[in-house]
Amino acid sequence: MSLEKIDGARIAARDLQPFVESVFRAAGTDQPSAAAVSTALVDASSRAFDTHGVRLVPFYMQGLEGGRINRAPTLTVTRKAPSIVHIDADDGLGHLASYRAIEEASRIAAETGVAVATVGRSSHHGATGCYTRFAALSGFAALGMTHADSAVIPYGGTSAFFGTNPISFAVPAPGEDPILLDMATSAIPFNRVELRRATGTPLPPEIAVDKTGAFTTDANAAVAVGPVGGATFGYKGSGLASMVDLLCSAFTGMGHGRTLSAFGGPDWSKPIPIGHFFIVMSPALFQTLAVFDERIASFLTDLRAQPAKPGFEVQAPGDLEKAEAKRRETTGLPIDPVTWAAFNAYAARFGIPLPRDVGEA
């Protein structure tokens, strides 16, 4: 994957997180919810996951202020079986419920080896990889999924049915940040279409369709994207999207993706109850940690040493983002112009000081 080029302000993560938290607090969001959403969004932006980073602040603000999202939810945790826990998110921000799901599932997995946490009556939780990585930073391996409203045409179809339905997998790696896979089961996440609208750059060919169902490279004309695998092998992407949708609906009690109202409005007043699905495992109960760490390390060493095509290097999942995260520690996090304008407006409206623009590195 190539990283998007973003022209705009650059803000240090340590300045950005409290600013974002303050914006959410000023809109009446309770402290745990504001802390969770700002942590997740700044984490994603820090790790170069810009499609799911702080550019989503206005999206959540609209939901919180419109009444779609509960600003002070009461989470309910139910142990459905010895290795299953369910979190009812009370229509609050998905970030809060998802961090909680990982905490609860990790506690169980430490005893039983594996636990599933289902989340219901939730809302958009940003990048699913924030939560699987959170588990891995505590020594657990995690698989995470979420479904969403329709934005992806099924294989052979002409109109949107699936959400971008991401799959994320994180596993601790000795001496470095966790290995982190976090991928939409669509060719690209619809958020990337939105980011391309903000940055004014065209889309790759045969990835997105316009309202007539024809492929387009115009981000502004795109209304849906296709499944990973494209015209020939898109049944694989559709199959993975089906799996994610089923695990996030039949197993959480929610309806499947196409029963959900559009996340993008026009109605921002009513909850759109979605589900998330997490599997958390305790590696130490599978193998000794010495064996486990040796296996992970030898996989990484071997993969990264593979011969590459000119202009490429063979990388492990998340390596590209890790390298960019390292750079951003000194250069700050890039904020696109549309998001930066929104931040200026929030700062003025709520009387919150704008974080300092550290400029182009």
Looking only at residues 99 through 128 of this chain, which bind its own copies when binding is defined by CB under 8 A? 111-116, 118
What is the residue-wise DSSP string for 207-275?
SEE-TTS-EE--TTT--EEPBTTHHHHHHHHHHHHHHHHHHHHTTTTPPPGGGSPPTT-S--SS---EE
Contacts of 243 (CB under 8 A, 6+ apart): none
Tokens 């300092």, located at residue: 356
Contacts to its own copies from residues 276-295, by CB under 8 A:
279, 281-283, 285-287, 291-292, 295
Q: Dihedrals φ, ψ of 109, to 5°?
A: -65, -30
Interface with its own copies, residue 242, by CB under 8 A? yes
Choices 3-11, 37-45, 93-101, 167-175 (CB under 8 A): range interacting with its own copies:
167-175
Terminus-to-terminus CA distance in the chain, angstroms? 22
Q: According to CB under 8 A, which residues from 142 to 161 bind its own copies? A: 143, 154-159, 161
Residue 179 within binding range of its own copies, rule CB under 8 A:
yes
Q: Is 62 in the site for its own copies (CB under 8 A)?
A: no
Q: Output 35 or 193, the one with its CB closest to its own copies.
A: 193
> What is the nearest approach in angstroms of its own copies to the Cβ of residue 146?
16
Output 66 or 202, the one with its CB closest to its own copies.
202
Q: Tell me: does residue 314 bind its own copies (CB under 8 A).
A: yes
Binding residues among 197-226 for its own copies as defined by CB under 8 A: 204, 213
Is position 256 an interface residue for its own copies (rule: CB under 8 A)?
yes
Cis amide linkage into residue 266, ω under 30° from 0: yes
Mark the segment that binds its own copies (CB under 8 A) among 11-19, 50-58, 178-186, 338-346: 178-186
Is 32 an interacting residue with respect to its own copies (CB under 8 A)?
no
Choice from 74, 235, 264, 361 touching its own copies (CB under 8 A): 235
Closest CA to 152 of 68, 239, 94: 239
Query: Is 339 near its own copies (CB under 8 A)?
Result: no
* Residue 93 DSSP symbol: -
- In angstroms, what is the C-alpha Rg of the chain? 20
